[in-house]
Structure 1
Amino acid sequence: MAMARDGLLPSFFSEVNMHTQVPVKSTILTSLVAATLSFCMDVEQLTGMVSVGTLLAFTMVAISVLILRYVTSDEVPLPSSLQAVIDSISLRYSNVIRTNKTDVEVSYGRTGVSGEKNSLLPKNR
């Protein structure tokens, strides 16, 4: 759900039910994919895939934790192409307007830097 909100998955996966606050559409889609795989594959092949997938997920999390533990946030090693994608997505969903002089955060129609009013944005916002 959070990945869909960040733009890494289609917006279909971010929709939640108003009453239960559960992502019903993505749950149904995931269940259909799992059911299709279970009907089409042999049980031994399916258990092997699940084991490898679980091992891969835990390995990726462990490596990520080690990287985040020993490397400062300014030095996280990312390929330049991945960094460009992350920057473009964060700029698209950011509520901070970057200028040459200062950063202005837009929040509920108020503008300001450190609680002070400034005139970088038009008054009609």
Structure 2
Amino acid sequence: MQRGMYESRAYATLLLKNILEVADPMHIMNLKPLVFTEVSDRISDKATKAALHILVNICPWGRNRHKTVEAGAISVMIELLMDEITHSKIDNVGSNLALLSLNLNAPYKIHSIHME
């Protein structure tokens, strides 16, 4: 995804989000580390939100939490959540950080993140 044009990279992120929403858990547990690096790339607001949804939904499965940390996605997630403060969405920041924490610590639960 890194070599493509802006629009196609954003579309690929949205497509990946839709695919992973219906994917078999075995496939989610065996994702390649490259997926985690690519979804950490801030392409556009819409693609970034889709990437956050991807990360939140795949973190509880297998070694995905470790892959997420190794790809640097956690710092990107925190930066995005902190950016919400400057856009006066302070109410969502605390709950989103709590959900992120739950997803990184709870191995068998899937929590969703709500980003407006």
- TM-score normalised per structure 2: 0.28
Higher strand share: 1
Higher relative contact order (CA closer than 8 Å, sequence separation 6+): 2
Larger radius of gyration: 1
Which structure shows the bigger proportion of residues in helix conformation? 2
